[in-house]
Amino acid sequence: MSTLDTAPPTGAARSAGSAAWLTSTDAQRAAALALPQDVRDFLEGGSGAEATLAANRAAFEDLFLVPRVLADASATSTAATVLGAPAAMPAGIAPMAYQRLFHPDGEPAAARAAQAAGIPYVAGMLSTCPLEEITAVCSQTWLQLYWLRDRALLTDLVDRAEAAGCSALVLAVDVPRMGRRLRDMRNAFALPRDIVAANFPPSETHSARRGAAGTSAVMVHTSEAFDPTLSWDDVAWLRGRTELRLVIKGVLHPEDAARAVELGADAVVVSNHGGRQLDGAVPAPSVLPAVCDAVAGRGEVLLDGGVRSGTDVLKALALGASAVLVGRPVLWGLAADGQRGVERVLSLLRTELEDALVLSGCTDVTRASGLDVVPRGIPLSPAALRKGPRW
Ligand X SMILES: Cc1cc2nc3c(=O)[nH]c(=O)nc-3n(C[C@H](O)[C@H](O)[C@H](O)COP(=O)(O)O)c2cc1C
Active site residues: 273
Kindly write out the interface string for residues 133-152 of this chain, putting x where it contacts ligand X by CB under 6 A and - elsewhere.
-----------x--------
DSSP labels, 92-104: EEPP-S-GGGT-T
- Nearest distance from C-beta of residue 316 to ligand X, angstroms: 11
Q: Which amino acid is at 137?
A: V
Q: Could you give the C-alpha distances from 263 to 167, 168, 236, 267, 334, in angstroms and in order? A: 19, 16, 6, 11, 36
**CA–CA separation, 362 and 371 (whole Å):** 8
Query: Does 90 engage in binding with ligand X (CB under 6 A)?
Result: no
- Nearest distance from C-beta of residue 361 to ligand X, angstroms: 27
- Nearest distance from C-beta of residue 42 to ligand X, angstroms: 6
Segment near ligand X (CB under 6 A); pick from 68-76, 91-99, 149-157, 201-209: 91-99
Among 39, 97, 134, 292, binds ligand X (CB under 6 A): 97
**CA–CA separation, 185 and 212 (whole Å):** 9
CB atoms within 10 A of CB 310: 22
**CA–CA separation, 80 and 89 (whole Å):** 5
Among 29, 221, 249, 315, binds ligand X (CB under 6 A): 249
H or E element, residue 198: none
Query: Does 350 engage in binding with ligand X (CB under 6 A)?
Result: no
Segment near ligand X (CB under 6 A); pick from 27-35, 152-160, 194-202, 303-311: 303-311
Decide if 336 contacts 40 (C-beta within 8 A).
no
Query: Does 38 engage in binding with ligand X (CB under 6 A)?
Result: no
Q: Helix 106-117 vs helix 328-359: angle between axes, to the nearest 10 degrees?
A: 10
Among 95, 118, 254, 310, binds ligand X (CB under 6 A): 95
Q: Could you give the C-alpha distances from 94 to 77, 172, 287, in angstroms and in order? A: 23, 11, 19
Q: Which amino acid is at 75?
A: A
**CA–CA separation, 138 and 120 (whole Å):** 8
- Nearest distance from C-beta of residue 248 to ligand X, angstroms: 11
Q: Which is nearer to ligand X, 100 or 249 (CB)?
A: 249
Among 118, 124, 299, 338, binds ligand X (CB under 6 A): 124
Segment near ligand X (CB under 6 A); pick from 67-75, 112-120, 266-274, 377-385: 266-274
Q: Which amino acid is at 363?
A: T
Among 87, 89, 94, 161, binds ligand X (CB under 6 A): 94
Q: Which is nearer to ligand X, 17 or 306 (CB)?
A: 306
3-state secondary structure 246-293: EEEEEECCHHHHHHHHHCCCCEEEECCHHHCCCCCCCCHHHHHHHHHH
Query: Does 304 engage in binding with ligand X (CB under 6 A)?
Result: yes
- Nearest distance from C-beta of residue 388 to ligand X, angstroms: 29
Query: Does 306 engage in binding with ligand X (CB under 6 A)?
Result: yes
- Nearest distance from C-beta of residue 378 to ligand X, angstroms: 26
- 80: burial class by Cβ within 10 Å (0-12, 13-18, 19+)? buried
Among 271, 311, 322, 360, binds ligand X (CB under 6 A): 271
Residues that bind ligand X (CB under 6 A): 42-43, 56, 94-97, 124, 126, 144, 172, 249, 271, 273-274, 276, 304-307, 327-328
